[in-house]
Every structure is written in C-alpha cells, then in structure tokens.
Structure 1
C-alpha cells in the first residue's frame, strides 16, 4: 500500500486513476533534497538546481555548522542526467531563478540556514555550465538562536526590471525586501514580526510587485502593499494549519494559489480575502504549489508524505487532482515545471508534452519525469 493510500481522511475513491507521469531519470543526492528549480531562460531550459540540507549530529557548540548543504547544478538531455557542479554551502532552504536577465546575466537566488541570501550567476564555457557566486547578504538578528532564511521570490517574474526586488522570509516570523542594484544587495525594508512563529513562505503579486504576501506557521496569510507602509493591509485566517506555500498566477490577474499543512490547496481572488474561490484536498500536507509556466492552468504540488500531484485549474471554481506521482518514499518537498517546449521535449523518450522534476528529503531522491498535460 502506498503512502498516499495510508493517509487518513482520504478514501480509496479519492485516489486519481489517471496516473501517466513517467520517470526518465533518478538520482540520489549528496544530502537530503528539499528544493528543485528549472532555469527559465532560452538555451538553458534543460538546466536545473537541486538544494540539499544536512543536519550534522554532535555538539550544540557547532553553531551554524550543524546545518550544511549543497547546491547541485544539473543538466539533462535525451540520454542522461548530468551533475555539472556541486557547491558546498549552508543548508539550502529555497532557491529561485530570476526570470529576466540582470545586466545580461542569468542569476539564481538561494537562501540558507546561515541567515543568508546568496546570488549566483550562471556561466557557460566549452559546452559546460557553472554557477559563480557574485554576492550575498547576511541578515541580522538580536537573539542567540539560529536564524534560517526560509524562502525567497523575485519581483520581476512577469515584468522586467533592471533593479529587481527580492522578498525573503525567516524562522522568527519576519519578512524582508531587498533590491538588487547592479551587483549590490540593498535591504529596503524588514517587516516586523507579525507572524508568531516561522514565516514559511513569502512571495510577490506578479502583476504589481508593490503587493506581496507571507504565510506562517501561525496559520495566517498576510497581504502587504509597500505604498502604504509595512503594516499588512489584509489578514486571512482561513487556513487550519501553517501556510507553507503561495504562488501568484502570471496569466490570470488577481489569482493566487496557497498551500498549507492542512492538506488543502486554495485558490484566491486577492481582491476578496474573506473566502477562497475554491479549494482541493490533497493526500498530505502541502510544501510547494506552482502554476505551470505555459498557460498557468495547472498546479504542480508537493504533498510531502502524500506524493506529487497535478491539479487542474482550468476551471478555478472546480479544481481537481488529475495526475499523481508516487516514486518518492519520504517527504516530497521540491517540485518544479521545466520550461522546455513540447518541441524540445520530443527527443526525450516516452509520451508527454511537459517535464517536471521532484525531490524528497530523507531518501535523498531526485526524479525527472515526463507527462501529458492537456490545455497547456
């Protein structure tokens, strides 16, 4: 019996039967795998990064060194999955590619357990790719406790900006806005501690980056508007457990998806935070929800012990799970859509017009898969 079927509150009748996701490549990672992100830029859409996290057992005197990690840079072609580079760092909590070049460079943001935001530049030479660290920002805190930077998002996912902003969340309930000016990271503002516990996720509203959101372990989803100060302009208490993920829709104005430990994906019209437009129950707590990069009609979700799933969002009022993937044995944390077109994917084995990557924690497993997704 799969992890999916073992989970309570999910009957046999709820299990999707159209399971067509086919694995192309599998690889064990150095440490526990918790994030995966495909490069969105032309000529590099077969490139992705996988973030690793390792908790070293031993004395508490080790400080931040007790959490270590790796950034793994991979490439895929029709024959193999290749590890291009392994970068030793603090434990990786989240990664995001900037969707537009900055000063002609393809850049990646990474946040980690060492209170840090790092910026890397993708380089290419002699048919190989590499990541070069170009800057970092160390967040300050007064407490002696460890400060983890838990998530980040770029402001220019929909509209280009030569000085994009980055929103970051941390483990003591704060949210920070930084600006990348040239190669310099400048702290623009830090939102005081509105969340009682960890701020698991923060993200921009891509149609207007003055607006951003944060979700915390206190079950609250906040909406902010930089034009009116640092206080939240809306507070939502609909989630029954911690808010772990959110993603603005680049094609459908006002639409936001959120994920929670309460096992529900909710779809919102941000103009009305009283109740979601719709929600769909998943077979496990949510860690990541991501709209597809083509039509934004589907969500790819990581349901931790409940597997990886595709949710149809064509009809926002009646979303449902249409496909599922159960290769991960333990806590699926990282998922992402490849930006490769169906023509680019035609050379890969198996049927399908979309490629995804997923990774899981304690079994340190990375998978690259192909599937057929209609209306995309």
Structure 2
C-alpha cells in the first residue's frame, strides 16, 4: 500500500516538550484528549538540570470549531498517562505518571468540563530522583469493581496500586537492572504483568507465584520500551524496542515471537486500535508515526506520518467512529489519531485513510 495515508487536520505548538497523547474512551467525550508535557529547567548558577516540570493540556476536537485547548494545568513533568478503560462512579478518570515519584488520579468533571485532581500516591518516598516511567490500568476487558494500576520506574522497579476513592500502593518489586521503561497488564488475566527494561529484558510475572519473573525473554537486541495487550484476541501481546522492531507474541509460548516487523525507527509506544484490534499505532521516535496492519499473514506498515521532526514519543487512536470522522472535512479517512513530539513541541491531529 502506498504510504502517506495519514494526513494532518490540526497542529498545536505546546509550550513545553510534548511526550504523551491519550484520547478519552467514553461517550459523550470521545472528542476530548489530553497531551502531557515534560520540561527540564536548568539551574542558573550551575547550568545543570535541576527541576522537571510539566503541563497537562486538555483539548476538544470539534468539526465546527476545530481544535480547542480548554484547560492547562501546571504539574510535575509527566512521562505517561492513561484513561481508565471503564468509567468510575459514572466519570472518566485519568492516571498520570510523574517525575516526582507519584501517580496522580484526575476526574473529568462535567460543568465546567475540566479535569480535577482526585488523589495521589507517592510510590517510594525513600527513593530520591525516581521517575515513574509508565503505567497501565487493569481494566482493558474487565468491568469488575477492582481497579488496579501497574507502573514502572527509573530504578527498575514495578509497582501495583489499587484505586478505590484513594490510590494505595499494594506491592512493589525489583524487575530490571536499569530503567523499567514499560509495564502492562495482560488483560485476560491481570494476575499476569509484563515489563520491559533498558537491560533488554522482556519479563512476564504471575503475581500468584511471587515476585520473581516466570519467564525471561532475551530476544530484543536493545532496551524494551513498549508493550500492549490485545483486549479481543486472547494470548496476543505486542512489544517494541530500541532495536527498531515490533514483536508479536503468544504468551503461552514466548521463546519465539509470532511475528517480527522492522520499523523505520526506535519504538516508544504501541497501541492496538480500539475498533477491530488488528492494527498497531507505533510512535517511532526519530522514525515517525506508523500504522501497522497485523491481520494479514505478513504484517505490514499501511500508513506513515513524518510531520514530527524531533522524537515522536506520543501517539493514540481516538474512539470517534467513522461518522464522526466524516464531519471533519478536507481530508479523507476512517479514523482520527493524535501524536506529539518532544523537542519541536508539536501536537498533531490527523486522519488515517485505510482505503488508499
């Protein structure tokens, strides 16, 4: 398929470096998304970086009014964020991983439409200079009342938090020798957790058997940076690495990957599409943003986007359906994505056309 099937609808220059985009999954706010920022502030006396600050930006996408920033909050630097897949007490809630060793929970309020901080959890107050690098909710395919978050940190540790009005740390354990770049639940059984680290290890844990990994995979040729469990195809998960390869896995037999896709750049984030769950959105840092179709026998890149000139860290699918996408005229396509890049401080909203 000819590349270039992803076309820009809107762009926005962020004040700080942009590293994460997450669309709200819930009606009636599927046209709302958040963009997270991370900025190092230098010490004027020493010239060294001494403080990490951030912003949490809330946007609305409207066919009549375009892209509109409706809220901007000053925060600690943000490294990852995820909406809970299910509403909590009939509200959408957002978990945010920060550079000051915390996970924050925000609730989306209706009038006015804005995020409000609900609760925070300091992961480990005895560990200075610890960054929470990634997080994932346990709710990918569960409507149970048990809400858990797994997160990973810059010291190589993993943590399980439980959210029930307040956010509490349940357990922590050492996972990786260097930074634990990514952690995520296997949505079909959230006793199972995966993690990837700068030590190039891809680990599988079963919390019922203790805190040692039940499987260590050493296939990745560099640090493991991304992971996502497929919520409709049992046993299927995806991982990505600095080695510029996406690997698809059957978690029952992880000695060899099901498929390996060479990408144009190092992987940072992977997201299964929320519709057919047979496409991956990949943020490839200096290598652009891409859509990969895994439905065919040989997985292939079916769309590429190169508007980000300097480290595309964030990418996410919107949950807007085809009819809602059609309202945004001027570009053809069946779905809308958001992406952002770091040093050029650029947020892009684009249409993806699968029929090109």
Partner residue in 1 for 2:109: 123
Q: Would you say the 8 A contact 1:214–1:222 is kept in 2?
A: yes
Q: What TM-score, normalized by structure 2, do the two folds share?
A: 0.96
Partner residue in 2 for 1:324: 304
Alpha-carbon offset, residue 64 of structure 1: 9.7
Instruction: Choose the corresponding residue for 2:58, options 73, 76, 79.
Output: 73
Partner residue in 2 for 1:83: 69
1:33 has 2:21 as partner: no
Q: What's the RMSD between the two structures over aligned residues? A: 1.7
Instruction: Choose the corresponding residue for 1:173, options 146, 151, 156.
Output: 156
Secondary structure of the corresponding residue to residue 345 of structure 1? helix
Alpha-carbon offset, residue 285 of structure 1: 0.5
Gaps of 5+ in 1: 1-15
- Counterparts of residues 32-51 of structure 1 (less than 5 Å): 32-51=17-36
Secondary structure of the corresponding residue to residue 66 of structure 1? strand
* Distance (Å, rounded) in 2 between the aligned partners of 1:117 and 1:229: 24
- Counterparts of residues 56-67 of structure 1 (less than 5 Å): 56-58=41-43, 66-67=51-52
1:213 has 2:213 as partner: no
* Distance (Å, rounded) in 2 between the aligned partners of 1:117 and 1:143: 15
* Distance (Å, rounded) in 2 between the aligned partners of 1:62 and 1:39: 39
Alpha-carbon offset, residue 180 of structure 1: 0.6
Partner residue in 2 for 1:337: 317
Partner residue in 2 for 1:240: 221
Relative to 1, partners in 2 of residues 1:253 and 1:62: Cα closer, same or farther, differing over 3 Å? farther
Q: Would you say the 8 A contact 2:40–2:49 is kept in 1?
A: no
1:250 has 2:231 as partner: yes
Q: Would you say the 8 A contact 1:64–1:114 is kept in 2?
A: no
Alpha-carbon offset, residue 322 of structure 1: 1.1
Partner residue in 1 for 2:135: 152
Q: Would you say the 8 A contact 2:279–2:291 is kept in 1?
A: yes
Gaps of 5+ in 2: none
Secondary structure of the corresponding residue to residue 113 of structure 2? strand
Q: What TM-score, normalized by structure 1, do the two folds share?
A: 0.91
Which structure has more strand as a fraction of its residues?
2
Partner residue in 2 for 1:267: 248
Secondary structure of the corresponding residue to residue 133 of structure 1? strand
- Counterparts of residues 237-316 of structure 1 (less than 5 Å): 237-315=218-296
Secondary structure of the corresponding residue to residue 356 of structure 1? strand
Instruction: Choose the corresponding residue for 1:347, options 327, 330, 341.
Output: 327
* Distance (Å, rounded) in 2 between the aligned partners of 1:27 and 1:101: 28
Secondary structure of the corresponding residue to residue 93 of structure 1? strand
* Distance (Å, rounded) in 1 between the aligned partners of 2:66 and 2:44: 41
Q: Which runs of 4+ in 1 moved over 6 A?
A: 60-65
Q: Deviation per CA, 1:284-337, whole angstroms, max 9, x where unpaired?
A: 10000111000111000011001001101103x411111100111110000000
* Distance (Å, rounded) in 1 between the aligned partners of 2:342 and 2:45: 23
Aligned length: 353
Secondary structure of the corresponding residue to residue 34 of structure 1? strand
